[in-house]
Amino acid sequence: MNDIINYMSKELGGASPALTAAYLVVGVLILIMSVVCLVLEIRVWLCYSKANKRGISTNMTGIESARYVLDQAGLTQVKVRKAGFIREAIFGNYYNVATKTIYMRSWLGKIDNKTSVTSTALGVQKVAIARLCEEGDEQAKLRGRLSLLGIFGPLLFIPVILIGMVIDYLIMKDITLISYASMALSFLLLVAGFVVTWLNIPVEKRANQLALRMMRDYGLANEDELEMMAEVYDAYILSYIAQFILEVLRVVQWILEIVIKMQNKNSD
């Protein structure tokens, strides 16, 4: 183990053994949680697929179920539409808080016009999100406004840093404020992704409970169907929790990298 730490310390520019060990531990945990996230995403797909093969007793499509519950809840101002290809590829099924519109998948699983347990479950769950936003749930509204940053923030983390370093190398021939500015921007993007991931858990949990209650109250599903829907919802929640832990570890890794760079600079 000491040999590994000594080797990594040299690779990190002479970082202290304590920082090197911490960096290694976080790196291993990130790898483990990445695998856990993948496993949980597979579980989400399996639950989603199983419920999507079972027809709903009301014989209503996802859009019809969502529209019915919106009207029953007095949210007639909220629209329901099928998502276009690009919108669906980026967001999937979601509620746009700015345009007060629920968008539902129209090509992957065809949730918009399919009469399945999954289509009703996801349609009404997005109604629940809309209801939370319309009733003033600040966490739900903030999550909606930051959704784009939440998706692209973590993906742009490394590219933004590299762009700053490349510009410095090609133009300034040294590390200057451009590199530091790109690092600061990448950190803000990472934090935005972290915040959205953190908000996903409580917002989605409240929406799931509200959706199940509305479907029971409005007679949209029997108990067997509700149980299957709850499994789909729980699979998503576990996936969000794992993603949140992964985002925390990435932030810790970023902080460790900054501390190591500062330590190396001071030792020079």
Tokens of 168: 């410095």
Note down pLDDT in tens along the chain; length 268 residues: 565 655 555 656 666 777 778 888 898 999 999 999 999 999 999 999 999 999 999 999 999 999 999 999 999 999 999 888 877 777 788 898 889 999 988 876 567 788 999 999 999 999 999 999 999 999 898 888 777 565 545 555 555 455 555 555 555 555 556 666 666 666 677 677 777 777 888 999 999 999 999 999 999 999 999 999 999 999 999 998 998 888 788 878 878 877 777 766 656 5
* Domains identified in the chain, total number: 1
Spatial distance between the Cα atoms of 107 and 104, rounded to a whole number of angstroms = 9
Spatial distance between the Cα atoms of 110 and 64, rounded to a whole number of angstroms = 13
Per DSSP, 102 falls in state E
Q: How far is CA 208 from each of CA 5, 31, 50, 150, 154, rounded to the nearest angstrom?
A: 45, 30, 18, 20, 26
DSSP reduced 3-state for 219: coil
Which is nearest to 129 in space by CA: 167, 91, 88, 157?
A: 91
Q: What backbone phi and psi angles, to 5 degrees, belong to 190?
A: -65, -40
Strand partners, 104: 82
Residue 242 belongs to domain spanning: 2-267
